[in-house]
Amino acid sequence: MAVSVLALCLLGAISENVATQDPLTRFDASLLESLHRHATPTGVAIFILISRIGSPVTMTALAFGGALVLAYRREWTMLGGWGAAFMGAALLDRWLKLTIHRPRPSYAAALLDNQTWSFPSGHAMGALVGYGMLAYVLILLGGGSRKTNVLIVASTTALVVIIGISRLYLGVHYFSDVAGGYAAGLLWLCACIAVLERRLHPTD
C-alpha cells in the first residue's frame, strides 16, 4: 500500500505536468524528435513486434488464459484478484485518457489507424499490471527457489521496460505517457496485491 501511495503521487505529478504543459512536456518533444531522427526500418520492425507483446489483444489472451488455469486449480481468491487486476487496469486507463485528453504525437498516424488519446500509455500500464500479476502468481504458486523468484522478477521488469521503450521508439507515445502508464499500473498492481495478501494471509 505504501508503494501504491508513492505511485499515486508520481501519477498526480506527471498528470499535472502534462495538463499544464510544464517542462516535462518539453523534454517529451525533445526525446521524441531525437528517437525519430535515429529510427531505422529494422528498428521499427523489431519494436513493432515487441510492442505487440503488450497490446490489448495479448493482455486479453493472458487474462483469459490465466483465469482458466486458476479456475482449474480452484484458486478462487487468486482468480478474483487476477480478474480485478486486468479489468481495473483497463477501466483506469480509459478514465485517465478521457480525463487528460492528450493528443498523440504526430508520428503516431503512420502506425495507428484508430488513434485513442495519448496519456497514459495503455501498453505500458497493461504490461506492468498483466505481467506483474503473472510474476506474482508464479512466485506465490510455483514454489520456486529464491534464485528462481529473482529471475522471474528481473525478467518481468525487463519485459515491461522494453515494451515501454518500444512505444517511444515507434513515436506513438511521449515519455510522460509511458511514465504515467507505469505509475498508474504500479498503483493498481500494488493495491491488488495488497488486498490479495490480506485475503490469503489474514493472520499475518
Number of domains in the chain: 1
Q: Catalytic pick from 36, 101, 123, 201? A: 123
- pLDDT at residue 61, rounded to an integer: 96
Cα–Cα separations (whole angstroms), residue 166 to 53, 122, 170, 173 = 10, 13, 6, 9
Domain of residue 52: give its range: 2-200
- 123 has catalytic annotation: yes
What the block records as the C-alpha cell of 151 is 529471475
The catalytic residue among 36, 38, 173, 201 is 173
Classify burial at 7, counting beta carbons within 10 Å of its beta carbon; exposed 0-12, middle 13-18, buried 19 or more: buried
pLDDT of residue 88: 95
CA distance 164 to 116: 17
At 176, which amino acid appears? S
Q: Report the chain (204 residues): mean pLDDT per 10 consecutive residues.
A: 84 85 84 90 94 94 96 92 95 93 86 83 95 94 85 96 95 93 94 88 68
101 catalytic per annotation: no
Nearest Cα to 175, choosing from 7, 2, 23?
Answer: 23
Question: In this predicted structure, what is the pLDDT of residue 48?
Answer: 94
CATH number at residue 110: 1.20.144
Q: Which three cell numbers stand for residue 114?
A: 484508430
